[in-house]
């Protein structure tokens, strides 16, 4: 399977290194607006680094991994689909913009392309998705260091709905958007707490006619980017394996 990566930061580099050794996968090209980052990874892995997104998309690739930013999703999602590739989206907060989400979903349907949203820094999204029609409320409580949220004080820094969370904290609360897409944005309540924590912690409680789901994930931070959890990078690899595999678990 031929793969391209947009974003050569913590997640993109991790996935690129994995792809360069994985059986049955070929990393075709990488792209980053920070040319130095792209060139550094290109040199390390001896892989083509495109200078412009349009050149990147001229490559023959089955799927593009977006590991860049919400802006990258806004700017490139349509182009990726039109160029005939599927898309894995990490900066899921972009899809909290309903109009944009509808536009990209409709285009994917029209072009028969697929958009994959990995479980990212969350666990149990498969179960939450399964009970989506039976859920009355999902509460997400996220704890990260004050510096990761860009604040100096400890305490509750946000309490509200998933759309606002994804808009106000595009680098930290993509998970709110993943939950919103899974069950409907109106059902998801988000609390973000700045605390001195060793790990990035997400707690999810979902209640409804099906019963109750409680999930706690204590995520090791990535060395290159403490806002980002190691699990998020691993979840991209799982998504790639699922796309390629004959048996899909979860
Ligand atoms: N869904 C989840 O659960 C989840 C979890 C962790 C991170 N994320 C998101 O995944 C994305 C990548 O995370 P990361 O830790 O690797 O970030 P990072 O900051 O380490 O790397 C991002 C890279 O993308 C590049 N980039 C940014 N905007 C770009 C654009 N418009 N075009 C091309 N390149 C661009 C940057 O130059 C940088 O090199 C972030 O948006 C992050 O918020 C999502």
- What are the pLDDT digits (tens) for 125-184? 999 999 999 999 999 999 999 998 999 999 999 999 999 998 899 888 999 999 999 999
CA-to-CA separations, 1 to 26, 38, 54, 61, 242, in angstroms, rounded:
6, 21, 21, 8, 12
Separation between Cα atoms, residue 41 and residue 31, nearest integer Å: 10
Separation between Cα atoms, residue 25 and residue 23, nearest integer Å: 6
Is the whole model's pTM more than 0.85, yes or no?
yes
Nearest CA to ligand 1 atom 3: 120
Q: Is the CB of 90 under 6 A from ligand 1?
A: yes
Separation between Cα atoms, residue 36 and residue 70, nearest integer Å: 21
Please choose from 68, 72, 171 the residue to mutate so as to test ligand 1's pocket, defined by most ligand atoms within 8 A of CB. Answer: 68
Q: Is the CB of 233 under 6 A from ligand 1?
A: no
Residues 35-54 have a mean pLDDT of 98
Helix 70-82 / helix 98-111 crossing angle, nearest 10 deg: 20
Helix H or strand E segment including 158: strand 155-161
In the chain the domains, ranked by start, together with CATH numbers, are 2-120+231-244 (3.40.50.720), 125-220 (3.30.360.10)
- What are the pLDDT digits (tens) for 46-99? 999 999 999 999 999 999 999 999 999 999 999 999 999 999 999 999 999 999
Nearest CA to ligand 1 atom 35: 68
- Structure-token match 């897409």, residue found: 181
Please choose from 4, 5, 6, 7 the residue to mutate so as to test ligand 1's pocket, defined by most ligand atoms within 8 A of CB. Answer: 7
pLDDT reported for residue 250: 77
């Amino acid at each position: 399977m031929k793969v391209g990566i947009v974003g050569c930061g913590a997640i993109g580099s991790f996935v690129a290194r994995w792809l360069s050794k994985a059986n049955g996968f070929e990393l075709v090209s990488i792209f980053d607006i920070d040319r130095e980052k792209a060139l550094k990874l290109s040199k390390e892995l001896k892989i083509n680094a495109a200078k412009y997104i349009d050149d990147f998309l001229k490559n023959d690739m089955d799927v593009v991994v977006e590991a860049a930013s919400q802006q990258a999703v806004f700017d490139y999602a349509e182009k990726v689909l039109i160029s005939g590739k599927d898309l894995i989206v990490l900066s899921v907060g972009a899809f909290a913009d309903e109009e944009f989400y509808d536009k990209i979903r409709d285009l994917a349907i029209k072009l028969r392309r697929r958009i994959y949203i990995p479980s990212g820094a969350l666990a149990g999204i498969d179960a939450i998705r399964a009970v989506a029609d039976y859920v009355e409320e999902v509460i997400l409580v996220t704890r990260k260091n004050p510096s990761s949220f860009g604040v100096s004080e400890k305490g509750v820094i946000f309490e509200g709905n998933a759309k606002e969370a994804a808009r106000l904290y595009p680098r930290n609360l993509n998970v709110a958007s993943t939950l919103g897409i899974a069950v409907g944005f109106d059902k998801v309540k988000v609390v973000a707490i700045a605390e001195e924590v060793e790990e990035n912690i997400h707690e999810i409680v979902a209640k409804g006619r099906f019963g109750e789901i409680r999930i706690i994930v204590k995520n090791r931070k990535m060395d290159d980017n403490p806002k980002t959890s190691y699990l998020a990078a691993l979840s991209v690899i799982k998504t790639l394996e699922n796309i390629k595999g004959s048996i899909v678990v979860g």
